[in-house]
Amino acid sequence: MLRSLILTGVLCLTAVAPKAEAPAPVPSDAKIRAMLVDRIDTRQQGVGIVVGVIGAEGRRIVPYGRFDRDNPRVPDGDTVFEIGSVTKVFTALLLAEMARQGEVALGDPVSKYLPAGVRVPERGRAITLADLSTHISGLPRMPTNFAPRDPRDPYADYTPGQLYDFLSGYRLPRDVGAEVEYSNVGVGLLGQALAHRAGVDYETLVRTRIIAPLGLHSTAITLPPELQARLATGHNAGLEAVPNWTMPTLAGAGALRSTANDLLTFLGMAMGYDDSPLRPAMDDMLAVRRSTGRPGDEVVLGWSVMRRGDDELVWHNGGTGGYNAFVGFLRKARIGVVVLSNTAPDIGGTEMGVADIGLHLLDPALPLSSPPKPHHQVAVDPALFDAYVGRYQLAPGVILTVWRDGNRLLTQASGEKEVVEIFPESEKDFFVKLFDGQITFEVDGSGRAVGLILHRSGRDQRAERIAH
């Protein structure tokens, strides 16, 4: 989807932000609430948000907004949200704990723990369990045979057989370990492998080995009635209610639901405020390090790590079709923050959904996102659109297709189901209404497009037209 291309990520933002020399106190509840009021009431970029903070003084919860757009109930620390890719932290903890118990080794090839006959691609060497968790396997963000029947619940019909077919036919674009490339399918595969090793499904494994030992009573994949009653309604970036996601095959990449209180408990154990039988495994997660290529930024098992002065900021975020989540902590200062929203990311306007809020609370040198610039649609002759129809190469393997449908100009990125309409604000400049992304077409002397520039979060990306 076009919004996937507009997602530049907070990592790009943090790479140029000034380094904090010492942790500043987390803002007061009133100041945090003011941030939420701005995000929800002023920018209209959310329905309900819950912020949790934990430190030496204890924990606090700051909620604002609604449980549902049509329900004035205010969410709280026990409200359940989909946490999306924050699930990857739990999958990494499973890996670290099973390695500590001798059930697997971090350097084991993942093929060792898959059904007989499944072929895993190799290049240079075999893909290991640790490679999957640190995103250096060479596998892509999504499997190439991912074609959901229902884009509102895109993972529901993706089967283990399809996953194994993808692996058998995929050719790695680079040597294993050569580069960090975020991969949902990689961590989903890791969850499958660990579950196969344990002889149970992923949901049972994460519940018995992680959730129950940590006492996370409101964290689950399948929600019992008591938790279902506390599940906030998810909304898309247009603030419309949307269905929940189901992820039977790639569960390890994003299937968990949780609450701010449970995630604060998780952070409290990771920072050593509370005893936990899993604390050694939590520490092991931070010992396996891979460079992202950006100064001060690394990937460890399940987490991203940023150097901030003499401290390290450890974090992960996640998003589904109706929710957005952030979890992070400062290792030395022992301050943790959770931010949960029942609205999918408005990518351009909030960088990575609510991640900018979480990062800013942990380090004020990391700025809150700026409100998106207002754009105004103008009337143009739809016949002009014909000059822009074509296929544009945004990146290797990433094609943006532009076509006309009557009086509308539509776009779709390769491998994605979502079609995004763009609207003219001049004859050459177009914008997206639901999130902050713009396209400027470059034309030749005859007025036909030869390329385009995708404007996203303050960055410009040029794409050459490769076909009409």
Over residues 401-419, the pLDDT tens digits come to 999 999 999 998 876 667 8
Task: Identify the pLDDT of residue 436.
Answer: 74
Q: What's the pLDDT tens digit per position in 244-281? A: 999 999 999 999 999 999 999 999 999 999 999 999 99
pLDDT computed for residue 11 by the predictor: 38
Measured distance CA(378)–CA(365) in Å, rounded: 38
Letter string b/e over residues 53-76, b meaning 16 or more CB atoms within 10 A of that residue's CB: bbbeeebbbbbbbbbbbeeeeebb
pLDDT at 238: 81
- Distance of alpha carbon 365 from alpha carbon 282, whole angstroms: 27
Rounded CA-CA distance 403/399 in Å is 13
pLDDT category at 302 given cuts 50, 70, 90 is: very high
The mean pLDDT of 346-367, rounded to a whole number, is: 79
Structure tokens, 278: 């899993």
User: Does residue 369 carry a pLDDT above 90?
Assistant: no
Q: What pLDDT score was predicted for residue 351?
A: 43
Residue-level pLDDT at 370: 81
Token pair, residue 423, equals 């609207």
Nearest partner of 423 among 410, 435, 414, judged by Cα: 410
pLDDT at 443 over 80: yes
% pLDDT > 70, the chain: 92
Whether pLDDT at 320 is above 80: yes
Residues whose CB falls within 8 Å of the CB of residue 280, separated by 6 or more in sequence, listed in order: 100
Beta strands in 335-389 (DSSP E): 335-341
Any idea which of 103-107, 320-324, 327-331, 411-415 has the lowest mean pLDDT? 411-415
pLDDT given at position 371: 80
Q: Helices 184-198 and 160-169, interaxial angle, to 10°? A: 120
Q: Which tokens go with 15?
A: 């790479």
Q: Identify the band that residue 14 occupies on the pLDDT scale cut at 50, 70 and 90.
A: very low
pTM of the model: 0.84
Mean pLDDT score of the chain, rounded to an integer? Answer: 91
Phi, psi for residue 313 in degrees, rounded to 5: -100, 115
- List, for residues 207-220, the tens digit of each pLDDT value: 999 999 999 999 99
Lowest average pLDDT, out of 24-38, 320-334, 336-350, 440-454, goes to: 336-350
382-467 topology per CATH: Lipocalin (2.40.128)
pLDDT tens digits, one per residue of 25-66? 799 999 999 999 999 999 889 999 999 999 999 999 999 999
Residues in contact with 142: Cβ distance below 8 Å, sequence separation at least 6, in sequence order? 184, 185, 415
Pick the closest to residue 211 from 243, 258, 179, 157 (CA basis). 258
Quick one: 159 exposed, middle or buried, by C-beta within 10 A (0-12, 13-18, 19+)?
exposed
Give the Cα separation of 11 and 347 in Å (integer): 14
Domain 13-362 has CATH 3.30.43.10: no
Q: Is 162 helix (H, G, I), strand (E, B) or coil?
A: helix
C-beta of residue 337 within 8 angstroms of C-beta of residue 271: no
pLDDT digits (tens, 9 = 90+) for 77-135: 999 999 999 999 999 999 999 999 999 999 999 999 999 999 999 999 999 999 999 99
Edge to edge, what strands does the sheet with 48-55 contain? 58-65, 48-55, 335-341, 324-330, 311-319, 304-308, 297-299, 290-291
Number of H-type helices and E-type strands within the chain: 14, 18
Are 13-362 and 382-467 the same fold in CATH? no
Both tokens of residue 140? 């892509």
Report the percentage of the chain scoring pLDDT > 90. 81
pLDDT of 15 > 60? The answer is no
Cβ-contact 368, 35 below 8 angstroms: yes
> Are 50 and 340 a contacting pair, CB within 8 Å?
yes
Structure tokens at 158: 């993706």
Could you give the residue ranges of the DSSP H alpha helices within 10-157? 10-14, 29-37, 87-100, 129-133
SS3 443: strand
Cα dist from 289 to 29, 67, 297, 298, whole Å? 35, 39, 10, 6
> Does the pLDDT of residue 457 top 90, yes or no?
no
The residue written with tokens 């100009």 in the block is: 409
Q: What is the pLDDT of residue 352?
A: 63
What is the pLDDT, as a whole number, of residue 417?
Answer: 62
CA nearest to 267, candidates 199, 209, 322, 219: 219
Helix (H), strand (E) at residue 262 = helix 260-270
- 451 — pLDDT class (breaks 50, 70, 90): very high
Residue 290 CA, chain-centre distance (Å), reads 19
Ranges 41-55, 334-348, 388-402, 410-424, most confident: 41-55
**Span 173-182, mean pLDDT?**
96
Task: Kindly list the domain boundaries of the chain, sorted by start residue.
Answer: 13-362, 382-467
Is 70 exceeded by the pLDDT of residue 397? no
Whole-number pLDDT of residue 202? 99
